[in-house]
Chains A and B, each alone.
Chain A
């Protein structure tokens, strides 16, 4: 059988060996915890605590600011120190709740969970919304919105995105190896919402041990399939993943539900599991601390809100002075100029590199080599679109499908002239999207 994949894509150095065999370690935060009110797509959450309030672990501190939004919970017990703008990974300052950790980790009492079989669709969705679950692969789209499709019986596939195609990241891998039951139970919760759906665990074939393990664990689950995907970036991008597993295609104007699919990331599915089976809100995630500048690269279970400085310290500090620090993976992550930022729901990794390959690169003239066209999973013309973006030719940019870009960065990666293809296209897309919102 031909390998499940898509057209285009690249094979960057994957760097996963640095941390893939390091078991998940819990770390307890020492300093203050910072909770940006906007760590998801949609309306910012609204703070429901005030300066000076005492909070417990698992207590809601911010309410969802609308339907497309998500609440935020305290992950330690302590006192609300301030509600003020704080720096986040993108470089912006975002209104945040700051909590001084009292080191006692006193927890609230969680509601008694109901058995899944006895829950109605609305009850399940309520649990997920209340728990503040969002897409933890990076986008941060509120999960309950994704799951609340209008016609649930028309969903054919619930896809667990276990591809982890981003180089260096091993958090999903460790989750699958160490806690496959939680992933499978979480997927079963999603399947309970969609009566006609088949669950697919889609794993890249550089994780054969995961595929074997998940196959073994799901052999008595008639509604769950494990599918191996060709190892290629960006296999885990939503549109390419849907295509690779089901051969269905969507463009930017449609949602996965339009072709009968729902896609969730590994960590999000585990969060769904915790929300429904234990009624515990989303409070922690797995973060890979890695890169050649880190003393002991490894995977941590981190409480949301923990400062990045503490993660670096927990990983043994810097072996060498890093030239560049990236929150997330090397392809999609954000370069950060200071470490004083909090872990959010969408932070999958902290990558510290001793070499900064990119900042010094001087772009030169396009030689028309067509490499960007070959690797583009959206099958558009990055060379042309980047030039149109440089010329601010918005009309032609939209006409030639600039808005179909999935921002994976493959074009910039392969460009021999080192043009800022992806960057230019992304900026132009933002301008167009901004105007459409008005």
Chain B
């Protein structure tokens, strides 16, 4: 009986795509925004990116070693979280902010809830909001060697005029990765072309945001105002890289549209009526919390179900 062959349940072929390749593709598509951020803000930004990524990966590794669980840092999901968090930090923040944020993102939001796939909100954004609340002055201080003064969105809110062209290119102040709309869109195109994300969530998010902003923004559908809001702040980064996070967006098609529209509405409310100029992070994590409910309400109808029986 020694020549018995291995058997397994069908199907006997599998696609080449794995969790690691998906996460790696996300990392690569974040590189344009990362590189632009480092170019824009200088060496300090590079240090912050490296420290934050190292912090998320090490937290996951140490937790898994301590808990004697299978080490999963090879799936690159911790790298994605670290990179996203770093891109959401102001370049002038001290290096330990990255470490504190990284530990919070991985330990509290991800690992304590069961690790990859079990976190109920986007770890990077949850960490950013945690930092915003705990270290408000550091997290809202966008003064660096390169830029002084407020971010374009804050200026816009204060009634000043902004240069939309600079905002699209990214030569403005803000967090490390959010300033350049072009760099973010290049990365988003990579993800779209590889089929890793689709336009359902980002498309419905951005379109509904524009509509709500036009209705409630106080400036109507004025081109300069709308485009400044699109290019400014974390909208593009949030729409393409964080609202599309698999774990924390609905899996159903209808649910994804509802989720996108909800984010557009929340972002508009926070930006127009909120105390801060920015609202993407809060909008997305609140949206994340509603995902189980949305999925339950939009459970798909099975093929052919409900037809009459002869």
Contacts and interface: CB of A to CB of B under 8 A. Distances in A.
Interface of A: 10, 12-13, 91, 154, 167, 239, 243, 249-251, 253-254, 257-259, 322-326, 328, 330-338, 351, 353, 356-359, 361, 364-370, 373, 377-381, 383, 400-401, 404, 409, 412-418, 420, 422-423, 426
Contact of B11 (A91, A243, A331): A331
Contact of A380 (B15, B246, B300): B300
Given A368-B117, A378-B302, A357 B21 contact: no
Contacts of A401: 302, 305
A48 B19 CA distance: 56
Interface string B257-301: 000000000000000000000000000000000000000000111
Interface residues of B, number: 43
A356 B14 CA distance: 10
Given A253-B309, A404-B305, A331 B18 contact: no
Given A369-B246, A414-B15, A259 B307 contact: yes
Dominant secondary structure at the B interface: loop
B248 to A, nearest CB: 8
B106 to A, nearest CB: 15
Interface stretch (B2-10, B130-138, B180-188): B2-10
Contacts of A12: 11, 13, 15
The 6 A-B pairs of least Cβ separation, nearest first, read: A249-B304, A409-B11, A335-B7, A251-B304, A370-B251, A404-B302
B247 interface: yes
B310 interface: yes
Given A249-B303, A416-B18, A420-B9, A365 B115 contact: yes
A342 B22 CA distance: 43
A417 B251 CA distance: 15
Contacts of A251: 302-307
Interface of B: 3-15, 17-19, 21-22, 72, 75, 77, 115-118, 246-249, 251-253, 299-307, 309-310
Given A258-B310, A330-B13, A379 B8 contact: no
A364 B75 contact: yes
A335 B8 contact: yes
A254 B8 contact: no
A377 to B, nearest CB: 6
Contacts of A378: 302-303
Given A358-B8, A364-B75, A412-B11, 10 more contacts: A167-B13, A249-B307, A324-B5, A334-B10, A337-B7, A361-B14, A370-B251, A373-B251, A413-B15, A422-B11
A357 B12 contact: yes
Contact of B17 (A91, A365, A381, A416): A416
Given A337-B4, A367-B117, A254 B13 contact: no
A266 B151 CA distance: 68
A328 B5 CA distance: 16
A335 B4 CA distance: 11
